Amino acid sequence: MLDKLLEKKLEFEELFNVYSSLLTSKQKEALELYFFDDLSYAEIGEVLGTSKQAVYDTINKAVKKLKMAEKNIGYIELKNKYDKLLEDKN
Q: How far apart are CA 54 and CA 75, in angstroms?
A: 30
User: Would you kindly state where each structural domain of the chain is located, as residue ranges?
Assistant: 2-89
pLDDT digits (tens, 9 = 90+) for 45-69: 999 999 999 999 999 999 999 999 9
Q: pTM (2 decimals)? A: 0.84
What architecture does CATH give domain 2-89? Orthogonal Bundle (1.10)
Give the model confidence (pLDDT) of 6-32 as tens digits. Answer: 888 888 899 999 999 999 999 999 999
Looking at residue 44, its pLDDT comes to: 98
Q: With 80 as the cut, is the pLDDT of residue 2 above it? A: no
How many CA within 13 A on the CB side of residue 13? 9
Question: What pLDDT, on the 0 to 100 scale, is given for residue 70?
Answer: 93
